[in-house]
């Protein structure tokens, strides 16, 4: 991996599996200057059918498909991911609806360099088995009045990494899992994920500055 200049944007890979609405939020944030310290250099999909790939192509972002079901085992799957990350000199991984499991060994290779958005206020409704509509079904079944979203660092424990940002969303009387999912995405996920990506990108840029004894000025 070539050495990055302090002033170069942090190179981001977004991991996807489906429609890519969170990817679109990141793309929009990059266009609008909300995500400015980092730049999306790769979209990696675990599915050949993910509409997120179309979103990436429409915005001129390179794509790679590493389909878990086409790999002999987890090791081969993650070797494919590693090769793609190395080829694009990636520094930060953003999980945006990525439905494939990453091993503990892989995660340990990227300390504080993988972030994920989860559709609840961690530590509520999180961990193994809590994903997609299941999270919102559990929140409604419990009768909580407030839910939300969390962006966190990824470690060896599902949804167990340090929290970066959270935002609450009110639950209404007639909400369904589907309507609640839409509210959480629009009111929390799509706002938090770009902000968190920018925040972590700034941390990476600062680490570069330390390694070169250079001061980073971010214009604020």
List the catalytic residues: 118
- CA distances to 67, 81, 92, 209 from 75, rounded to whole Å, are 13, 10, 21, 34
Of the candidates 112, 115, 61, the residue with the CA atom closest to the CA atom of residue 93: 115
Beta carbons of 19 and 51 less than 8 angstroms apart: yes
| DSSP helix/strand/coil, 84 | helix
Beta carbons of 173 and 217 less than 8 angstroms apart: no
Of the candidates 93, 81, 77, 83, the residue with the CA atom closest to the CA atom of residue 38: 93
| DSSP helix/strand/coil, 92 | strand
């Amino acid at each position: 991996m070539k050495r990055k200049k302090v002033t170069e944007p942090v190179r981001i890979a977004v991991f996807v599996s489906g429609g890519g609405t969170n990817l679109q939020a990141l793309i929009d944030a990059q266009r609008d200057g909300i995500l400015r310290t980092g730049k999306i250099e790769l979209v990696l999909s675990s599915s050949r059918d993910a509409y997120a790939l179309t979103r990436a192509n429409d915005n001129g972002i390179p794509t790679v498909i590493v389909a878990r079901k086409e790999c002999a085992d987890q090791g081969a799957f993650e070797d494919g991911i590693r090769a793609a990350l190395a080829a694009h000199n990636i520094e930060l991984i953003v999980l945006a609806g990525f439905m494939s499991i990453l091993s503990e060994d892989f995660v340990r290779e990227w300390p504080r360099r993988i972030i994920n958005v989860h559709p609840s206020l961690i530590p509520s409704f999180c961990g193994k088995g809590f994903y997609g509509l299941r999270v919102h079904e559990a929140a409604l079944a419990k009768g909580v009045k407030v839910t939300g979203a969390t962006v966190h660092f990824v470690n060896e424990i599902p949804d167990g990494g340090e929290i970066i940002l959270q935002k609450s969303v009110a639950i209404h009387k007639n909400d369904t899992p589907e309507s609640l999912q839409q509210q959480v995405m629009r009111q929390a996920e799509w706002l938090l994920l770009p902000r968190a990506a920018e925040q972590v990108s700034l941390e990476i840029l600062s680490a570069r500055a330390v390694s070169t004894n250079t001061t980073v000025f971010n214009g604020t």
